[in-house]
């Protein structure tokens, strides 16, 4: 969808997700926020000194619809951090920007990661190693008729897709690494004594290309499989019901 022009008057919605407010009496060196499950396992982590995301995607809109990812503040005073309720983003070959582009807000990259299910969680604030915790309860949307078991099954399905996406991403990276080695030795193999070896390397390179390059629907490749899995992951993330039989097939 085409975003509304910048001059269009629009209201501002409240932040989407869990709003985490904290006050620092003095400036800190490092602030970390952890979202923990009821069993204490860390589901998400946000740090003031974490490197900017290296995830890249080609935007279909102007830069004014983008803003850098926010990190926990370290300055003295009041701070607000919003967790969008998504669990860790799955690793994928490629990401795309959502069609939900809103001026002044961060346009999300998809897939974003599964949504946390309603239940009890814990927020931990670690300021220079000193930890404070508070409970966090995610409540179900009253408009949603899905049962807790349905939402848990949807989360499990999202996590299974994420695992397949990561396998595809890792395999693609391994193929790219092998291709890089072939390219690095291409000049060395150009001399007559190694001509036969170069011919074999070229043939192997074509096989690698068939695996890593997106050929659309003409032939399956790691790139096309990744695109299909990413689309499926995004669809399931945005649903508040059980996956369909077609999605599970």
Helix axes 148-184, 222-237, angle to 10 degrees: 160
In this predicted model, what pLDDT tens digit does every residue of 226-248 receive, in sequence order? 999 999 999 999 888 899 999 98
In this predicted model, what pLDDT tens digit does every residue of 82-106 receive, in sequence order? 999 999 999 999 999 887 766 666 7
Q: Within 10 A of 85 (CB to CB), how many other CB atoms are there?
A: 18
How is residue 63 annotated by DSSP?
A: G
Per the CB < 8 A criterion, the answer to whether 246 and 213 are in contact is: no
The C-alpha atoms of residue 136 and residue 235 are separated, in whole angstroms, by: 27
pLDDT value, residue 142: 93
Give φ, ψ of 20 to 5 degrees: -115, 110
Q: Give the residue with greater pLDDT, 27 vs 67.
A: 27
Using pLDDT thresholds of 50, 70 and 90, give the confidence band for residue 1.
Answer: low
Report the predicted TM-score, pTM, of the whole model to 2 decimal places: 0.83
Give the 3-state secondary structure of residue 141: coil
Residue 224 has pLDDT above 80, yes or no: yes
Residue 11 in tokens:
């209201």
Using pLDDT thresholds of 50, 70 and 90, give the confidence band for residue 18.
Answer: very high
Cα pseudo-dihedral 83, 86, 90, 95, rounded to 10 = -80
């Amino acid at each position: 969808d085409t975003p509304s022009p910048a001059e269009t008057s629009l209201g501002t919605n409240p932040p989407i997700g869990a709003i985490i407010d904290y006050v620092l009496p003095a400036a800190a060196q490092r602030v970390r926020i952890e979202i923990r499950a009821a069993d204490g396992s860390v589901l998400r982590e946000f740090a003031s000194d974490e490197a900017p995301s290296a995830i890249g995607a080609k935007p279909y809109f102007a830069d004014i619809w983008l803003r850098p990812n926010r990190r926990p503040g370290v300055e003295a005073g009041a701070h607000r951090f919003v967790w969008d309720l998504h669990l860790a983003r799955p690793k994928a070959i490629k990401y795309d920007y959502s069609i939900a582009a809103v001026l002044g807000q961060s346009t999300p990259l998809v897939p974003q990661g599964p949504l946390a299910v309603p239940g009890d969680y814990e927020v931990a604030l670690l300021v220079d190693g000193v930890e404070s915790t508070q409970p966090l309860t995610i409540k179900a949307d009253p408009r949603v008729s899905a049962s807790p078991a349905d939402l848990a099954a949807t989360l499990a399905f999202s996590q299974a897709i994420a695992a397949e996406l990561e396998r595809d991403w890792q395999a693609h990276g391994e193929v790219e690494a092998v291709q890089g080695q072939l390219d690095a030795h291409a000049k060395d193999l150009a001399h007559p004594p190694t001509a036969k070896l170069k011919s074999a390397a070229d043939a192997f390179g074509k096989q690698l290309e068939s695996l890593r390059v997106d050929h659309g629907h003409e032939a399956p490749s790691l790139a096309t499989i990744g695109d299909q899995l990413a689309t499926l992951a995004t669809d399931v993330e945005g649903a508040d019901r059980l996956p369909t039989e077609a999605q599970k097939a």
